[in-house]
Amino acid sequence: MAHYLELSQMPIAFDPIEYVESAFFDQSNFQMFCVQHGYTDVKVKGITEEDNFKITIPARGPVSTIKFSGGTPRVLSVQRRKVSVEFINIFAENSVEKSLPLKAGNADIIGFYWIFKNEYVLLITTSGVELYSCNPYRMSFKASKSYALSVSWAIFSPDELILLVCVKGTNSIHPFVFKQGTQNAILRLPKFDVDMPVAASSTLSIRESKAITLMERDVVIMSLYNQHYVGVIRNSVTPGAEVLLYQLSTEAPAKLAHILSVDVGGRFTLSIVDDLVIVHHQAMKTSMQFDILSNSESTTTAGTPKHQPMLAPLAVAPTKLQVKQKGTRVSALSPSGSDSPGSVGSSPGTSPLFYSKTTISPELYSPKWVFFQPNVIIDAQYGVIWKLEVKLEAISNMMPDKCLLIEFLLKRKMGKTVILTVCKECLEPGRQVSLSVLGHVFDRINHAYMVLQGGDNSETQYKISISQRDLYKQVFVHFTDRKDMSYKFLVAVLVEYVRSLHKVLIPVEHFLYEMIMNVLIENKCFYQLHQFLQYHVISDSKPLACLLLSRELVYPPATQLAMDMFKRLSTADSEIIDILLSRGQLLTALRYVKATSKVDSVSARQFLEAAANEDDKMLFYTVYKFFEDRNIRLRHTKRFPPDEQCQPFEALYEKWFLTKMKN
């Protein structure tokens, strides 16, 4: 548990770079393309079986980028030259091929992307941004929108549909966002300047010094808590590096919203996992974890919050791989590190013979690692794709402050099980925390529940909710029969949880009250039970009144407590009548019926059946006459209507009383 990050292997295995001409990863469709045999044979690797196949493309030289469109039909797009992109309807019966050349002028294609699956093609060139609408069936393209810019580099996020363009000779970023179903598919946002440190130089004066040039590798598009940010790694600051988070806006230039402080300098790479920013330091082979919603320890003069790592830097957890072995050693690979968009690397093709497989522990933070957003790591040496994941169980053991831990876990997608485990540990004898701490934990859990139920306008971005039933089944029940558990502490915990529910206006479920009452009765704490009922620590309900009735043999006054509760409820008349009848108190039940004005609505059959079972003829006579009088008053006849099903009791009355009178 000494690692809070781990690698989860994806079901995609591709040929290591040493054995193919080149390889490319497509983030949009999560596919790996391995180009082989003279740039004509291509292996496509995806997550599903239907995404694993081989295709053949025309032999026209080295491939710099290759990817499929989304949607149907799928169109293969290939870039070989700097001035055009080829499109092939490769799955059609009559394969159609088109080329999208650049407009006349001195410009090169930096990259291209499919937008909205196969509706648009976006070209990024050294002279601007060009958007083309696409008809994938006819393989036709039409210019839709263009922006003239002197482009130094550009990055695109297929998940967020955001494009960032950096203008040559500046540290200015021009953002673009794509909106489906609107008149203009592309929207240009206000540009913003990135504050970069001044390059240190002994030969230049302060006035002559220039800011460090913003590099593509130091910029990441990210989404954190449903907000879009541009992350910028800024080195050459004292005492270490920083990650600047600029929040994008459609109305104004992006604003510096957060600063992540890194105590060391060097080369860094960013990943985003479950709204956490993970900063990798490849030289030190460690990673740091930041949460922008955690309390910042300081702010800048402009009021920008500065965040420290949540935990100490640690390495990713070691992992195992099965690799093909050639001879007596594992093949070492050397990707070229191509700068083409989505490129994993390339090297001269060979055709080695594999003899066996062996299990190895690959080098972590290897120079052969290639990072893709938000959390994809590709090891080009061994042909494996991982997703970076957070180990919440390990984090729960590393954060001693239970309140901060629960707040952190409530914002994680898979935090529910861990939260319930933490709550259980907080009650475990020998590890119990104070009621004050438990109260704050319950307050956070219940507040998050209300937020997700729409009962609170808070902007806190919780992802999971813990209901009363969750805590009851997964935590509280486990301690009811524990001999080493103090019943007083358990009752105090349950009462504290009830207090927290009341605080955020969540109605308390009856099973929590039942648990409190059961613990008190089983431990003969009858005075405390009376106090809880008298001062409404335990709220009245029909299930609780019935529970009290069931404990009559253990605690005889429970019957009267139940009756009092039924009376306070004012909607439990039928339950009170049932109780009185079951105890043979028919006359009391009739008096209660009169007192509550229920004479005209109660069931005559229910009373007559109970009276007949008592084997007391005078009691039966009294009850029968009561309802006979009701019949005369309501229907002007002594007879019972057929729908009341009282004919057997009429016959019994006639047998016991009228027959004797005739004789």
Give yes or no for residue 201 having a pLDDT over 70: no
Q: Decide if 342 is inside a domain.
A: no
Per-residue model confidence (pLDDT) at position 313: 93
Mean pLDDT calculated for residue range 607-629: 90
pLDDT band at 49 (very low <50, low <70, confident <90, very high): confident
Helix (H, G, I), strand (E, B) or coil at 286: strand
Look at residues 483, 380, 471, 464 and name the one whose alpha carbon lies nearest to residue 422: 471
Percent of the chain with pLDDT over 90: 51
What φ, ψ does residue 592 adopt, rounded to 5°?
-65, -40
Which two structure tokens, joined as six digits, stand for 161? 């549909």
| pLDDT tens digits, 407-453 | 999 999 999 999 999 999 999 998 999 999 999 999 999 999 999 88
* CA distance linking residue 595 with residue 608, whole number of Å: 19
* Residues with Cβ within 8 Å of residue 114, at least 6 apart in sequence: 28, 67, 69, 70, 77, 120, 121, 122
Which of 307, 332, 358 terminates a domain? The answer is 307
Q: Strands 305-307, 255-261: parallel, antiparallel or unpaired by DSSP?
A: parallel
Per-residue model confidence (pLDDT) at position 412: 94
Per-residue model confidence (pLDDT) at position 458: 53
Give yes or no for residue 172 having a pLDDT over 90: yes
More confident: 349 or 637: 637
Dihedral angle computed from the Cα positions of residues 533, 534, 539 and 541, in that order, rounded to the nearest 10 degrees: 70
Reported for 297-303, long-range contacts at CB under 8 A and 24+ positions apart, including other chains, are 300/259, 302/256
* CA distance linking residue 529 with residue 537, whole number of Å: 9
Which two structure tokens, joined as six digits, stand for 447? 């507040």
Q: Decide if 460 is inside a domain.
A: no
The DSSP code sequence of 461-492 is: -------HHHHHHHTGGGGTT-TTS-HHHHHH
Which two structure tokens, joined as six digits, stand for 531? 């106090």
| pLDDT tens digits, 545-593 | 878 877 777 878 887 787 778 778 777 678 778 877 887 888 878 887 8
Mean pLDDT calculated for residue range 322-351: 50
Q: Decide if 468 is inside a domain.
A: no
| pLDDT tens digits, 145-154 | 999 999 999 9
Give yes or no for residue 345 having a pLDDT over 70: no
| pLDDT tens digits, 271-315 | 999 999 999 998 899 999 999 998 766 676 678 899 999 999 999
Per-residue model confidence (pLDDT) at position 343: 62
pLDDT band at 167 (very low <50, low <70, confident <90, very high): very high
| pLDDT tens digits, 442-498 | 999 999 999 988 855 556 689 999 999 999 999 999 998 888 889 999 999 999 999
Count CA atoms within 13 Å of residue 108 on its CB side: 9
Mean pLDDT calculated for residue range 496-512: 93
Which of 276, 292, 307 terminates a domain? The answer is 307
Q: Decide if 163 is inside a domain.
A: yes
CB distance 287 to 314 below 8 Å: yes
Mean pLDDT calculated for residue range 172-190: 92
The per-residue pLDDT of the chain, averaged, comes to: 86
Per-residue model confidence (pLDDT) at position 131: 93
* CA distance linking residue 380 with residue 15, whole number of Å: 9
Q: Decide if 487 is inside a domain.
A: no
Bridge partners for 233 per DSSP:
243
CB distance 87 to 76 below 8 Å: yes
Mean pLDDT calculated for residue range 121-131: 93
Side chain identity, residue 18: E
CB distance 481 to 463 below 8 Å: no
CB distance 174 to 149 below 8 Å: yes
Q: Decide if 340 is inside a domain.
A: no
Mean pLDDT calculated for residue range 75-101: 86
Distances (CA, A) of 16 to 34, 39, 49, 324, 329: 9, 16, 20, 10, 15
Which two structure tokens, joined as six digits, stand for 351? 């055709």
* Residues with Cβ within 8 Å of residue 158, at least 6 apart in sequence: 27, 28, 113
Which of 307, 323, 350 terminates a domain? The answer is 307
pLDDT band at 359 (very low <50, low <70, confident <90, very high): confident
CB distance 296 to 281 below 8 Å: no
SS3 content of the chain, % helix, strand, coil (to 5): 30, 30, 45
| pLDDT tens digits, 224-252 | 999 999 999 988 666 678 999 999 998 89
* Strand arrangement of the beta sheet that strand 120-125 belongs to: 109-115, 120-125, 128-135, 140-148
* CA distance linking residue 122 with residue 111, whole number of Å: 8
Q: Decide if 625 is inside a domain.
A: yes
| C-alpha radius of gyration, the chain, whole number | 37
Give yes or no for residue 325 having a pLDDT over 80: no
pLDDT band at 342 (very low <50, low <70, confident <90, very high): low
Mean pLDDT calculated for residue range 162-186: 92
* pTM, full prediction: 0.81
Per-residue model confidence (pLDDT) at position 334: 30
DSSP state of 314: B
Per-residue model confidence (pLDDT) at position 337: 35
* CA distance linking residue 129 with residue 109, whole number of Å: 10
pLDDT band at 330 (very low <50, low <70, confident <90, very high): very low
* CA distance linking residue 312 with residue 482, whole number of Å: 37
* CA distance linking residue 61 with residue 77, whole number of Å: 15
Per-residue model confidence (pLDDT) at position 546: 78
Distances (CA, A) of 197 to 146, 208, 241, 484: 33, 14, 11, 61
CB distance 78 to 92 below 8 Å: no
Helix (H, G, I), strand (E, B) or coil at 306: strand
Looking up residue 265, the CATH number of its domain turns out to be 2.130.10
* CA distance linking residue 614 with residue 119, whole number of Å: 83
CB distance 396 to 1 below 8 Å: no
Q: Which domain holds residue 641?
A: 583-663
* CA distance linking residue 150 with residue 174, whole number of Å: 11
Domain count, the chain: 2
* CA distance linking residue 470 with residue 466, whole number of Å: 6
